[in-house]
Chain A
């Protein structure tokens, strides 16, 4: 058993600084936002890791850079984060709370302070080398910046290729650098940092290298890895987002994906599943079909592992709407046609009883993942234990712990995982550290001084900044033409263009320009204000302007993306949109934010494992918790579970958590209770808990929704009528309770996907395949002669759970695949054997089993109480009834309503360890609110003119956030903290008594006129 990390807490106050090794952006932000100082150490020249390489992400097809870039900018600009790029952690001495970290900082050969990222060094550098960031598909210079949004956005010299550093010749960059930043004589430096804890989030990398020789990778030019394909798709990639194949630059007409390359492959000592490849292949195929509708996309696979929220739906859309072809067949070898470098894939066609050759222009290998190259040495230096495949897998009840107290892991290095799980674990690691170091919170950081925003105003001087967004905008809209026209407009004082206006360095330049040109109204022609406006407001604040004097023209989402084939018209439209923004800018007014105090307590709804974990995570940091449980005891859904696949006991976990929760001085436990009223705003909510019918008012600053789930009650296959038909949960209990009966069984049939993945309930329940593995292994352990037959649709033992699938097979469990159109048929008459008939899709034989027992893998459903809570808190639900998070990728634990967070089965079906991670992570998001004294709200709110209001209550009715109310004066009033600035009331008010600040009537009219007048022809 791992010792409780808090036992190590030293008497002295711990250090309030944390080391985050590896990209670790999310973890760094979660710590920095809760009062800790973070050293973000990355071996690369930039932070960002694998996500920076991705083009778009499933299941929303959001642009990866657009989601990610705001995070990069926040990290770059965060006062509590110091980035140490090109650095490695050498040693870590000391104990939790007080470590000394030895860091080696490699030479960059360019002075970070002096470099202004003008790019002249790269332009003049004569040495071209394969660009590793682009999967070596393109070239870069030896003087380079990894990608345009890199953080820090500073150039570096590649020591292995720089002519001066290797051969002492050239030195051109030094001669031309305008700031004299090139320093050829830089040497590695070592430094020591004192930190309270460390997080290792070094991520993963594709396992496939040309050395493996698999499928001709490294031999045939048109065989590439999935990560290389991301770069081919990407607008910042080697072909600027135009899909071309490497050998001849032609447009591929047929593309094949081969799944499970170096995954699920015991022969190559990689018997585990890499978890994400099924979905990213589906995404890449969908993107391919939407980029090039003529191009065929074929995926060769074994099982589709779409075990995440909404993933099956995505795969179905890929198949049936985008025409992606799925072939359930695994490939051994790829052949090349020497005449055209096309690739040939041979499969056996059972229908025709012959081998078929299919020709492809491009083959993408979905390579599995492995820890990065330097990880093994780091583990040795830090004395860390890893699993046989190099991953730092964590224990079931401590999902981010390592064998070393005070050192945590998160993300891909813990096990191969998708982005949301990585974000969750980043939060978990931050939570663990935040508990460990809670005495030192705010001690190592500079508290942001809250100063009133300047309100001074002058004659409008409008500055327009036009963004290329890489090639997202510039690939369609002719920006030089736009700039020319803008500069001719009398109302534009200054116009300028940027590659990525949102990058940290560009923002610095923008501030400089504002100051130099004395601009006081700013138009940014780029992307969506939804994602980026707050960034530019901060920039204005830093420039000494009122932050509300900026507006945006969305010439990407509303123009270049929708008119990619009409550059002339798109250029005109961009001009119109920008002109409208310029006119609006003339009416922009300085506004002032509002502030109020925070209630330092959390409301946790649901007392299962997630709820208890969330409550303890908050309470252990010194904040209050109201834990509301509907049942008469804590523990929730996990009460019905006996053992996990890995052999851990949920019952012991419940008892351990329950004991701690009940005696915790900061936790107020309400059993037999419900939250019946809820009001207020983030940081200052007020609600009513009804405990055994007694209402009691409570105040809290944040809410954590952990209402959990419940088992699906099957009505299929005679369940409930014949007691030999049971669910996996019931079988597990029976194995424990009546081992003799279980030993006497001869034949057991398990049927998967009962109540999951069908028309009534589309989700995969994620855990049932593992449950079947666990129980079939238990049955085989009790009696090796029992014949266990598992009937499945896709086996989804992702990650290291695949090892148990292998174990079950080795023990002689037989797996047969069926299709939903021909489900197994179970005949039972109460006596004799149960007859199970089915068709095996692999051999196409019809089978019959005379079974002693039929076990149904019944899925997980949301808890019935979640609907009531969703209504009360005004939270969205998915059609299946799970809570809908703010963003599937980067905000899995948040809602779009601030101050409310999500954990556990209430989000989607998941394993206990995943629920624990999510609960701690969600609690940490709540800590971001609770650890502050006061909250500032946006000034872009609706305001009622009491003189014009007729108290018609239309605003009260239409507001989705229940902000307006009729005050004691008998007119409508909108409390600024509750208003979200959506503008519905403003539009609906018949008396035109409501003004939405920052979107006033005169501003909107000016925009309409600018566009409708057609001034630009």
Chain B
């Protein structure tokens, strides 16, 4: 009797554990292919991308799996992955892909989708960094490293985490070294045409998810 129940339980978990194929259609695949022009369907899972990627160990979904997951329509898993933030856009995967899949461009596209989605980014610091960078750019037209770091540290939670991890001390030390070497520009340059750049930003928010 007891055995039977255990068996039933494992049978149920078996069903839960199994991913279903085809129940989501291929809308997601078609959408990503349409938006990136990438040849995702051509992938034959040779794993050249994952072997070439310098950071595959830090990704929860490996590059070749990214392509497979898109084919299966697993949007949430992908947008919530660390992969989209950890990717360095170093283009090793795209360069060596025998099927011209455009893996890096695809991951980059998923990163944009993740930004515009409600899914909490798995690597919040990386997401905040990119955001801050664009804000600084909007402010001055150019990006000043000193001001960028300052603005980043003012973002919620960033400073706290840096203090906890000891990164802040490292940062200050490096800052001091750079200043000593004359490589820290304290006063930012402001572009004359900063208004035109800001106009771009307004358009950017008109961009659809």
Determine if B29 and A330 form an interchain contact, defined as CB atoms under 8 angstroms apart: no
Determine if A348 and B29 form an interchain contact, defined as CB atoms under 8 angstroms apart: no
B104 within 8 A of A: no
**Is the contact region of chain A dominated by helix, strand, or loop, or is it mixed?**
mixed
Give Cα A747–Cα B25 distance, bound, in whole angstroms.
10
B202 within 8 A of A: no
Give Cα A811–Cα B20 distance, bound, in whole angstroms.
20
Q: Which residues of A contact B49 (CB under 8 A)?
A: 332
Which of B22, B42, B64 contacts A266 (CB under 8 A)? B42
Closest residue to A267 on the B side, CB-wise? Answer: B100
A169 within 8 A of B: no
Determine if B46 and A302 form an interchain contact, defined as CB atoms under 8 angstroms apart: yes
B50 within 8 A of A: yes
- Stretch binding the partner chain, chosen from B91-99, B120-128, B179-187, B192-200: B91-99
A384 within 8 A of B: no
Question: Which residues in chain B, 88-124, are within 8 Å of chain A measured between CB atoms?
Answer: 92, 95-100
Known interface pairs A266-B42, A812-B26, A842-B45; A847-B51 also in contact (CB < 8 Å): no
Per-residue interface assignment for chain A, residues 29 to 46, with 1 indicating a CB less than 8 Å from any chain B CB and 0 otherwise: 000000000000000000
Determine if A787 and B98 form an interchain contact, defined as CB atoms under 8 angstroms apart: no
Determine if A348 and B62 form an interchain contact, defined as CB atoms under 8 angstroms apart: yes
Determine if A348 and B48 form an interchain contact, defined as CB atoms under 8 angstroms apart: no
Known interface pairs A267-B97, A354-B57; A348-B47 also in contact (CB < 8 Å): yes
Determine if B42 and A806 form an interchain contact, defined as CB atoms under 8 angstroms apart: yes
Known interface pairs A810-B39, A842-B68; A848-B19 also in contact (CB < 8 Å): yes
Nearest-Cβ distance from residue B29 to partner chain A, whole angstroms: 7
Nearest-Cβ distance from residue A806 to partner chain B, whole angstroms: 6
Per-residue interface assignment for chain A, residues 839 to 883, with 1 indicating a CB less than 8 Å from any chain B CB and 0 otherwise: 000110111111000000000000000000000000000000000
Give Cα A914–Cα B65 distance, bound, in whole angstroms.
38
Closest residue to A328 on the B side, CB-wise? Answer: B47
Known interface pairs A266-B98, A847-B20; A785-B51 also in contact (CB < 8 Å): no
Closest residue to B50 on the A side, CB-wise? Answer: A348
Which of B25, B52, B68 contacts A333 (CB under 8 A)? B52
B177 within 8 A of A: no
Determine if A847 and B18 form an interchain contact, defined as CB atoms under 8 angstroms apart: yes
B81 within 8 A of A: no
Nearest-Cβ distance from residue A793 to partner chain B, whole angstroms: 14
Give Cα A348–Cα B52 distance, bound, in whole angstroms.
8
Determine if B25 and A846 form an interchain contact, defined as CB atoms under 8 angstroms apart: no
Determine if B18 and A837 form an interchain contact, defined as CB atoms under 8 angstroms apart: yes
Give the number of residues in A that approach B within 8 Å (Cβ atoms): 43
Which of B18, B56, B64, B92 contacts A355 (CB under 8 A)? B56
Q: What interface size band does chain B fall in?
A: 35 or more
Which of A267, A302, A355, A849 contacts B22 (CB under 8 A)? A849
Known interface pairs A785-B25, A843-B65, A848-B18; A810-B41 also in contact (CB < 8 Å): yes
Q: Which residues of A contact B14 (CB under 8 A)?
A: 846
Q: Which residues of A contact B57 (CB under 8 A)?
A: 348, 353-355
Closest residue to A841 on the B side, CB-wise? Answer: B45
Q: Which residues of A contact B43 (CB under 8 A)?
A: 809
Known interface pairs A332-B48, A332-B52; A845-B64 also in contact (CB < 8 Å): no
Determine if A815 and B44 form an interchain contact, defined as CB atoms under 8 angstroms apart: yes
Known interface pairs A268-B98, A302-B44; A789-B22 also in contact (CB < 8 Å): yes
Which of B21, B47, B97 contacts A789 (CB under 8 A)? B21
Q: Which residues of A contact B51 (CB under 8 A)?
A: 329-332, 346-348, 355
Q: Which residues of B contact A267 (CB under 8 A)?
A: 97-100
Known interface pairs A268-B98, A333-B52; A843-B29 also in contact (CB < 8 Å): no
Give Cα A302–Cα B47 distance, bound, in whole angstroms.
9
Question: Which residues in chain B, 1-51, are within 8 Å of chain A measured between CB atoms?
Answer: 14-15, 17-23, 25-26, 29, 39, 41-51
Nearest-Cβ distance from residue B168 to partner chain A, whole angstroms: 29
Per-residue interface assignment for chain B, residues 133 to 174, with 1 indicating a CB less than 8 Å from any chain A CB and 0 otherwise: 000000000000000000000000000000000000000000
Nearest-Cβ distance from residue A262 to partner chain B, whole angstroms: 10
Give Cα A766–Cα B99 distance, bound, in whole angstroms.
24
Closest residue to A303 on the B side, CB-wise? Answer: B44
B71 within 8 A of A: yes
Closest residue to A747 on the B side, CB-wise? Answer: B22
Nearest-Cβ distance from residue B13 to partner chain A, whole angstroms: 11
Closest residue to B95 on the A side, CB-wise? Answer: A332
Q: Which residues of B contact A812 (CB under 8 A)?
A: 26, 29, 41, 71
B79 within 8 A of A: no
Known interface pairs A267-B100, A332-B52, A353-B57; A746-B46 also in contact (CB < 8 Å): no
Give Cα A950–Cα B178 distance, bound, in whole angstroms.
111
Determine if B21 and A330 form an interchain contact, defined as CB atoms under 8 angstroms apart: no
Nearest-Cβ distance from residue B71 to partner chain A, whole angstroms: 6
Determine if B99 and A266 form an interchain contact, defined as CB atoms under 8 angstroms apart: yes
Q: Which residues of A contact B39 (CB under 8 A)?
A: 810
Q: Which residues of A contact B46 (CB under 8 A)?
A: 260, 302, 329-330
Nearest-Cβ distance from residue B41 to partner chain A, whole angstroms: 5
Give Cα A698–Cα B204 distance, bound, in whole angstroms.
88
Closest residue to A355 on the B side, CB-wise? Answer: B57
Which of A332, A350, A746 contacts B92 (CB under 8 A)? A332
A1012 within 8 A of B: no
Known interface pairs A348-B51, A848-B18, A849-B20; A265-B98 also in contact (CB < 8 Å): yes
Give Cα A815–Cα B15 distance, bound, in whole angstroms.
22
Residue among A811, A817, A842 with the highest chain B CB neighbour number at 10 A: A842
B78 within 8 A of A: no
Determine if A850 and B20 form an interchain contact, defined as CB atoms under 8 angstroms apart: yes
Closest residue to A270 on the B side, CB-wise? Answer: B98
Give Cα A663–Cα B31 distance, bound, in whole angstroms.
60
Q: Which residues of B contact A814 (CB under 8 A)?
A: 21, 71-72
Per-residue interface assignment for chain A, residues 265 to 276, with 1 indicating a CB less than 8 Å from any chain B CB and 0 otherwise: 111100000000
Give Cα A746–Cα B51 distance, bound, in whole angstroms.
35
B80 within 8 A of A: no
Determine if A329 and B21 form an interchain contact, defined as CB atoms under 8 angstroms apart: no
Q: Which residues of A contact B18 (CB under 8 A)?
A: 837, 846-848
Give Cα A238–Cα B107 distance, bound, in whole angstroms.
48
B53 within 8 A of A: yes
Q: Which residues of A contact B52 (CB under 8 A)?
A: 332-333, 346
Per-residue interface assignment for chain A, residues 327 to 367, with 1 indicating a CB less than 8 Å from any chain B CB and 0 otherwise: 00111110000000000001110100111000000000000
Determine if A266 and B68 form an interchain contact, defined as CB atoms under 8 angstroms apart: no
Q: Which residues of B contact A350 (CB under 8 A)?
A: 62
A264 within 8 A of B: yes
Give Cα A747–Cα B45 distance, bound, in whole angstroms.
22
Nearest-Cβ distance from residue A355 to partner chain B, whole angstroms: 6
Closest residue to B92 on the A side, CB-wise? Answer: A332
Give Cα A812–Cα B44 distance, bound, in whole angstroms.
11
Nearest-Cβ distance from residue A261 to partner chain B, whole angstroms: 10
Q: Which residues of B contact A331 (CB under 8 A)?
A: 48, 51
Q: Which residues of A contact B22 (CB under 8 A)?
A: 746-747, 787, 789, 849-850
Question: Which residues in chain A, 757-811, are within 8 Å of chain B measured between CB atoms?
Answer: 785, 787, 789, 795, 805-806, 809-811
Give Cα A849–Cα B92 distance, bound, in whole angstroms.
34
Nearest-Cβ distance from residue B95 to partner chain A, whole angstroms: 8
Closest residue to A331 on the B side, CB-wise? Answer: B51
Known interface pairs A267-B98, A331-B51; A847-B42 also in contact (CB < 8 Å): no
The 6 closest A-B pairs by CB, nearest first: A332-B52, A332-B96, A787-B22, A330-B46, A848-B18, A265-B98
Other A-B contacts than A266-B98, A332-B52, 17 sampled, CB-CB below 8 A, are A264-B44, A264-B98, A267-B99, A331-B48, A332-B51, A346-B51, A789-B22, A806-B99, A811-B41, A812-B26, A812-B29, A815-B45, A843-B65, A843-B68, A846-B18, A847-B20, A849-B22
Chain A interface (Cβ < 8 Å from any Cβ of B): 260, 264-268, 302, 329-333, 346-348, 350, 353-355, 746-747, 785, 787, 789, 795, 805-806, 809-812, 814-815, 817, 837, 842-843, 845-850
22 pairs, CB–CB < 8 Å, chain A vs chain B? A267-B97, A268-B98, A329-B51, A330-B46, A330-B47, A333-B52, A348-B47, A348-B51, A350-B62, A353-B57, A355-B57, A747-B22, A787-B21, A789-B22, A805-B44, A842-B45, A846-B14, A847-B20, A848-B19, A848-B20, A848-B21, A850-B20
